[in-house]
Chain A
Amino acid sequence: MVINASYFYFARMLLQSYRHTKFSLVMLLSALLIATSGLSAVLVINHSAKQSYEQEATYLLPNVSHQIVAKNQHQALSKDDYAALKRLGFSELVAYATSKHQLYQGDKLVNKRRISLTGIDLVSAIALPTFQQKMRNDQRAQADNNLLGLAFSANVAFSHPSLIKRLTQAASSTDSTVNTKLSLDSPAGQLLPELQAIDDASLGNDIVLDIKSYFRLVPNGEISGLLWLGQSGNNNNARLQSLAAQLPAHLTLIAMTSGEQQGELTKSFHLNLLAMALLMFVVCLFIVLNAVNLLLNARMPWLKISRQLGISRGAIFFIQAVELLLFNLLACGVGIVLGMYLANLVSPTVQATLESLYNVTVGFGNVSFLSLFMQVFSISLVGSALALMLPFRQVNLALNQTKTLPPNHHQHRRWQTLLLSIASSLALFTLLIVNFASQLWLLLIAVACLILGGCALLLLSYSSVLALICRVIPERLLLFRVSVKQSIALSSKSKIACCAFFIAATSNIGMNLMVDSFRGATLSWLDTRLAADYYLYYKGEQDLTDIAKQEGIILSKLLENDIDYQGLTIQQYSYPSTETFKNAMVYYQVEDKEQAWQAFTANQGIFVNQQFAFHFNAALGDSINLPEPSTEVITAYNIVGIVYDFGNPSKQVLFPVQTFSSARSASSIYALEGSEQQVQAFKNQLVKLNIDIDNSLIKTADLLAMSMQTFDRTFLITDGLNVVTLLVAALSLACAIIVLSKDMKPQNMLLRSLGVSRLTSQILALFQYLLLCIVALIFASPFGIMLSWILINAINYHAFQWTYPLQINVFTLLQIYAVSLSVVLLIIFIPTLRASRKPLIEDIRWLN
């Protein structure tokens, strides 16, 4: 009974204390809210993207395990091939055709990026036992089935509700019948059937309809593939083997999950996203820790009174733990809603990034609110519990003490030794992992160790560095010395917030330097590698060599073969042997450029890209067995050069153009070397042959600009998360400083009583706060550079199989400093201004 009464009393006291601890409470709730919303956004993006490409090209169809596609673009998969395979008894096959289009509502273009229109042979699909079984087991599928039934009985197409919503929004229309008024590729194009919403991630970003309707809308379309809707069991495997054996030579059977390569790459993207989310989590952890610390400090008088009134420590901690649990629940609920909104906001960018990077279509996922809530709540609870440990321990110690003890130098030394040991151990650990580990998760741990080691070093040296700065300030600027010395006191009380800012600044510097280096390397590589004057994308049969020759243009056809090497599909790619392309080659490793080029052009050596070399552990001088590009005869080739090939997901081997046979190899890209006049004449010739050159003949400078645009878009999300993390950390630091600066008030008022003006005291306050940030930034710089080195040489190496030189651009560093300091200044300026506006007499009471 006594215990119940004391719990009740303490809970009431806690509620009453809220009036006096508003700022700390708001900070704690904001930290939790930012953490949960950020985490939810990343989880939703990850989940949707994964779900989307895992089910890519399955279009509502169950058990799609394999598909048949054409081996190369020379001989496409035809309707006859489909009919022939059906006649052979392979009824599990369902044809689909897909092409990208633009949609108009009236004169208005409603989609910025082209949308895939996909036709499926629904008649064959619905007749399959697999499909019917799905309908029997799944009620929602039954509803979908009714809709699918409409597809061939009526003029209907399907898409994800989110896509319909986006199209409607783009049309700026409140007209609910917008989906019946969409025309294909031009305002006067064919009208699309009415869109029906089906909430299924497998629809991706596509509009799906019956294949007959598709061919009516796209008369020149071709079958893209034949999906295999098999049943599980040995019989299915046997039938698949039989199908593979009976396939015509120009077709190939591939497993849907053989997007392993794609999966690996997208994994890297998600890893990147997850790493950023983890970073945000760590920063938020520090912020929550900081907020709890401040809250408990502000509450300390109430806690002490409660102890004096006989309330047990158990009751005090229990009620506060329950309080934090409730805060977590509240923050999770609101945070998830915010996170979902945020994810929805950035999803077009994510989709564009994944599509441009990995050529995968990303649509909309179905995320369960409950499972998301459970994930976010459990993570935030674990984080809060971790963040609670240290402040609770301090409160426990404080409640045991009857009076404030003087600073204990022995304890201080012990703390310094501990920090030094932590910093050294983490540095050693990072070094070991980076040198010997090859798993990505271990490398991410190395990154965490590096950053935490930096934190330990910062805590160890903060006051020493500030004291050093203080010594540098001349005695005649005593006021500034006072300010620096006050910063030392402030830094010892705002350690956690300073660490959060340090982490954000380090990651910001690391990521920015990495992106900057990557951008620089890519730009220089593309600039050199795109040696021709123009590039032509042409899939047609027409031989363009003679036309080019007539106009005096050097036309190099870029040919490629997909081959198997050590169980993986790799690319054989042609590389022109002209002088221009010789100079355009950008080597990562080569012994003698001249000799290597001679060996290459004489077909006595090959170049491999970094992706190939790193994946297969191939080095210069190694001999590897590969099929000869034109004859497919296995031949031994010497690697004479390893070349840069940024952005290419494939492992690639380069051969001279003359070793390829046009009959066997696919080609859609031509490199053109010639003057403006010659190219203009060549263009005229192509127009006469009815070849569309508007979108396919691209000037190299435009191609370079387009590539760099794609590049920049790719890192938009990383940039965004970087800024958010920095903002959050700066906010935390600012809040901590502002709360703690209450402790400094008597000293500042003393200065005011000595005649220091309001403006000077404002400047001194800002100087103090900025000094803390500048020191954190100075510490963050070497750690940011090391982080960047690890990202480029370890994480990129294992995730993408390419590396590039680290470029430390002083301008980039200065830009990061300026942005970081501006963010802090912006956040602390208003409270500092407000604080100094208070009448002096109100604050002077602090002095007595």
Chain B
Amino acid sequence: MLSIKNLCKSYQDVKETRLILKELSVEVAQGTSISIQGESGSGKSTLLHLLATLDKPDSGDIMLHSATQILDLVKFSESQADEYRKRQLGIIFQKYNLIDCITVMENLLLPAQLSKTLDQAYLDKLLTTLGMERHKNKLPNQLSGGEQQRIAIARALAHKPQLVLADEPTGNLDSKNSAVVSQLLVDTCKHLNTTLILVTHSQKVANLTQSQYVLLDGRLQMISSTL
């Protein structure tokens, strides 16, 4: 379970301090999916960066509970944060962001090797699930945008993470591809019992998740939930 309590984050502007997240709290059960919507600049990406330990909050707690341990993300040292990203976390960015000089399969192998959880059969199955098995020896730039984002999803799941953060994963795709990729992402995470936090502007994409939130005035407000 992911538990966020009283999370605050501010940025120093030229003239004033802007409080982006104001005592934000939420709990997400393991294996569930939530979507976060909100206006540009509302703090959606900031929240994801904090969850990915790429940035530090001003105050508050972020705890990740697993079967064996409880991780206090806010108190992580740099090496602990690296280790967390390596083993527990998968990130999907808007611009696909694959390593373009290596093949599709190598892109999946890399996180699996880094986390020392390499399972070739699982990776093959993952590619089959995403319909990309015939592209495994291609370079990313030989694929279409939709195909690249499917590989990005596969890469985020390649090391069987506990948590996947997706920042506008379909922002660069057309509506048809957007629907297919989002569905695949949600279904695959559910199938693997991975928690998914998805930031999106699209209501259609948001509707695919189990709970939908909106980030307003620095706090998360639940819009609907099927849980």
Residues on A lying within 8 angstroms of B by beta carbon are: 475-476, 478-479, 481-482, 485-486, 488-489, 746-747, 750-751, 753-758, 839-841, 844, 847-848
Q: Are A747 and B100 in contact (CB under 8 A)?
A: yes
Contact A754 to B85, CB < 8 A, known contacts A840-B54, A841-B54: yes
Give which listed residue, A485, A488, A753, contacts B91 with CB less than 8 A.
A753
Q: Are B110 and A754 in contact (CB under 8 A)?
A: yes
Q: Are B106 and A478 in contact (CB under 8 A)?
A: yes
Give which listed residue, A479, A758, A844, A848, contacts B78 with CB less than 8 A.
A758
Task: Fill in one digit per residue for B83-95: 1 if any A CB lies within 8 Å of its CB, else 0.
Answer: 1111101010111
- Nearest to B46 among chain A residues (CB) is A841
- Please provide the chain B residues from 87 to 120 with a CB less than 8 Å away from any CB of chain A in the complex: 87, 89, 91, 93-95, 97-102, 106, 109-111, 113-115
Q: In the complex the two chains form, what is the Cα distance from A754 to B54 in whole Å?
A: 11
Mostly helix, strand, loop or mixed at chain A's interface? Answer: helix
Q: Are A844 and B101 in contact (CB under 8 A)?
A: no
Q: Can you give 15 contacting A-B residue pairs, CB < 8 Å? A: A479-B110, A481-B102, A481-B106, A486-B101, A747-B99, A750-B98, A750-B99, A753-B54, A754-B86, A755-B83, A755-B115, A839-B55, A841-B55, A844-B49, A848-B93
Q: In the complex the two chains form, what is the Cα distance from A844 to B101 in whole Å?
A: 20
Task: Fill in one digit per residue for B25-63: 1 if any A CB lies within 8 Å of its CB, else 0.
Answer: 000000000000000000001000100101100000000
Give which listed residue, B98, B101, B114, contacts A479 with CB less than 8 A.
B114
Contact A754 to B79, CB < 8 A, known contacts A482-B102, A841-B55: no
- CB A470 to nearest CB in B, in angstroms, measures 9
Q: In the complex the two chains form, what is the Cα distance from A758 to B111 in whole Å?
A: 16
Q: In the complex the two chains form, what is the Cα distance from A486 to B101 in whole Å?
A: 7
Q: Which chain B residues lie closer than 8 Å to A481 at the CB level?
A: 102, 106
Q: Are A754 and B95 in contact (CB under 8 A)?
A: no
Q: Which chain A residues lie closer than 8 Å to B167 at the CB level?
A: 848
Q: Are B101 and A754 in contact (CB under 8 A)?
A: no
Q: In the complex the two chains form, what is the Cα distance from A841 to B78 in whole Å?
A: 13
Q: In the complex the two chains form, what is the Cα distance from A751 to B111 in whole Å?
A: 9
Q: Which chain B residues lie closer than 8 Å to A485 at the CB level?
A: 101-102
Q: In the complex the two chains form, what is the Cα distance from A574 to B95 in whole Å?
A: 85
Q: Are B54 and A844 in contact (CB under 8 A)?
A: yes
Q: In the complex the two chains form, what is the Cα distance from A758 to B80 in whole Å?
A: 12
Q: Are A746 and B101 in contact (CB under 8 A)?
A: no
Q: In the complex the two chains form, what is the Cα distance from A847 to B168 in whole Å?
A: 12
Q: Which chain A residues lie closer than 8 Å to B54 at the CB level?
A: 753, 840-841, 844
Q: Are B84 and A757 in contact (CB under 8 A)?
A: no
Q: Are A756 and B52 in contact (CB under 8 A)?
A: no
Q: Are A755 and B85 in contact (CB under 8 A)?
A: yes
- CB A474 to nearest CB in B, in angstroms, measures 11
B217, CB-defined interface residue at 8 Å: no
- Nearest to A487 among chain B residues (CB) is B101
Q: Are A848 and B52 in contact (CB under 8 A)?
A: no
B82, CB-defined interface residue at 8 Å: yes
Give which listed residue, B86, B97, B99, B110, contacts A847 with CB less than 8 A.
B97
Q: Are A478 and B78 in contact (CB under 8 A)?
A: no
Q: Are B49 and A478 in contact (CB under 8 A)?
A: no
- Nearest to B156 among chain A residues (CB) is A754
Q: Which chain B residues lie closer than 8 Å to A848 at the CB level?
A: 45, 93-95, 167-168
The 5 closest A-B pairs by CB, nearest first: A755-B86, A485-B101, A755-B85, A841-B55, A757-B82
Give which listed residue, B52, B86, B113, contacts A478 with CB less than 8 A.
B113
Q: In the complex the two chains form, what is the Cα distance from A486 to B91 in whole Å?
A: 22
Q: Which chain A residues lie closer than 8 Å to B78 at the CB level?
A: 757-758
Contact A476 to B101, CB < 8 A, known contacts A481-B106, A753-B85, A756-B82: no
Q: In the complex the two chains form, what is the Cα distance from A747 to B110 in whole Å?
A: 13
Give which listed residue, A482, A755, A756, A757, contacts B101 with CB less than 8 A.
A482
Q: Which chain B residues lie closer than 8 Å to A841 at the CB level?
A: 49, 54-55
Q: Which chain A residues lie closer than 8 Å to B101 at the CB level?
A: 482, 485-486, 488-489, 747
- CB A494 to nearest CB in B, in angstroms, measures 16
Q: Which chain A residues lie closer than 8 Å to B110 at the CB level?
A: 478-479, 482, 754
Q: In the complex the two chains form, what is the Cα distance from A485 to B87 in whole Å?
A: 25
Q: Which chain A residues lie closer than 8 Å to B89 at the CB level?
A: 755
Q: Are B93 and A755 in contact (CB under 8 A)?
A: no
Q: Are B82 and A746 in contact (CB under 8 A)?
A: no
Interface centre among A746, A753, A757 (most CB of B within 10 A): A753
- CB A536 to nearest CB in B, in angstroms, measures 72
- Nearest to A406 among chain B residues (CB) is B141
Q: Are B115 and A751 in contact (CB under 8 A)?
A: no
Q: Which chain A residues lie closer than 8 Å to B82 at the CB level?
A: 755-758
Q: In the complex the two chains form, what is the Cα distance from A429 to B95 in whole Å?
A: 51
- Nearest to B141 among chain A residues (CB) is A406
Give which listed residue, A486, A488, A746, A757, contacts B79 with CB less than 8 A.
A757
Q: Are A750 and B111 in contact (CB under 8 A)?
A: no
- CB B111 to nearest CB in A, in angstroms, measures 5
- CB B224 to nearest CB in A, in angstroms, measures 27
Interface centre among B78, B79, B91, B110 (most CB of A within 10 A): B110
Q: Which chain A residues lie closer than 8 Å to B79 at the CB level?
A: 757
- CB B41 to nearest CB in A, in angstroms, measures 14
Q: In the complex the two chains form, what is the Cα distance from A476 to B118 in whole Å?
A: 10
Q: Which chain A residues lie closer than 8 Å to B102 at the CB level?
A: 478, 481-482, 485
Interface centre among B83, B98, B99 (most CB of A within 10 A): B99
- CB B135 to nearest CB in A, in angstroms, measures 18
- CB A559 to nearest CB in B, in angstroms, measures 74
- CB A517 to nearest CB in B, in angstroms, measures 43
- CB A628 to nearest CB in B, in angstroms, measures 79
- Nearest to B158 among chain A residues (CB) is A754
- CB B38 to nearest CB in A, in angstroms, measures 16
Q: Are A756 and B114 in contact (CB under 8 A)?
A: yes
Q: Which chain A residues lie closer than 8 Å to B84 at the CB level?
A: 755
- CB B198 to nearest CB in A, in angstroms, measures 15
Q: Are B115 and A750 in contact (CB under 8 A)?
A: no
- Nearest to A481 among chain B residues (CB) is B102
